[in-house]
Amino acid sequence: MQNPYLPIPVRIDKATIETEDRNLKTFKFVYVNPEDEAKFQYKAGQFGELSVTGKGEIPIGIASSPTEKGYVMFTVNKVGLVSTALHNMKEGDIMGIRGPLGNWYPWERMEGKNIVIIGGGFAFTTLRSSIVMLLDPENRKKFGDIHVVYGARSPGMLLYRDELAEWEARDDINMHITVDGTDDPDWKYNVGFVPSITEEKAPKGDDDTFAIVCGPPIMIKFTQPVLDKLGYKHDHIIMSLENRMKCGIGMCGRCNIGKEFVCKDGPVFTLEELNSIPKEY
pLDDT tens by residue, 214-233: 998 899 899 999 999 999 99
Q: Are residues 95 and 121 in the same domain?
A: no
Model confidence over 58-97: pLDDT tens digits? 999 999 999 999 999 999 999 999 999 999 999 999 999 9
**Domain-ending residue, one of 58, 78, 101:** 101
Domain that holds residue 152: 107-240
Q: pLDDT > 70: what percent of the chain?
A: 98
Query: Does 279 fall in a domain?
Result: no
Q: Are residues 209 and 155 in the same domain?
A: yes
247 annotated among ligand-binding-site residues? yes
Local confidence band at 248 (pLDDT 50, 70, 90 cut-offs): confident
Q: Are residues 123 and 230 in the same domain?
A: yes
Query: Does 250 fall in a domain?
Result: no
How many structural domains are present in the chain?
2
Query: Does 257 fall in a domain?
Result: no
pLDDT value at 17 more than 70: yes
pLDDT value at 263 more than 80: no
**In the prediction, which pLDDT does 1 show?**
62
Q: Are residues 36 and 59 in the same domain?
A: yes
Q: Are residues 61 and 168 in the same domain?
A: no
**Domain-ending residue, one of 35, 70, 101:** 101
Query: Does 270 fall in a domain?
Result: no
CA separation for the pair 115, 65 (Å, rounded)? 17
263 annotated among ligand-binding-site residues? yes
**In the prediction, which pLDDT does 254 show?**
74
Q: Buried (b) or exposed (e) across 259-270, using 16+ Cβ within 10 A?
A: ebbbbbbbbbbb
How many CA within 13 A on the CB side of residue 166?
8
Q: Are residues 213 and 121 in the same domain?
A: yes
214 annotated among ligand-binding-site residues? no
Angle at 53 between CA 50 and CA 56, to 5 degrees: 55
Q: What CA dihedral angle connects 145, 40, 241 and 246, to 10 degrees?
A: -170
Q: Are residues 114 and 227 in the same domain?
A: yes
Query: Does 255 fall in a domain?
Result: no
Local confidence band at 278 (pLDDT 50, 70, 90 cut-offs): low
CA separation for the pair 122, 125 (Å, rounded)? 7
Q: Summarize the confidence of residues 32-40 as an average pLDDT.
A: 95
Mean of the per-residue pLDDT values for the chain? 92
Strand partners, 10: 31, 95
Angle, helices 124-135 vs 161-169, to 10°: value is 40
Q: Are residues 236 and 114 in the same domain?
A: yes
CATH assignment at residue 84: 2.40.30.10
**In the prediction, which pLDDT does 240 show?**
86
Q: Are residues 158 and 235 in the same domain?
A: yes
Q: Buried (b) or exposed (e) across 19-57, using 16+ Cβ within 10 A?
A: beeebbbbbbbebeeeeebeebebbbbbbbbbbbeeeeb
252 annotated among ligand-binding-site residues? yes
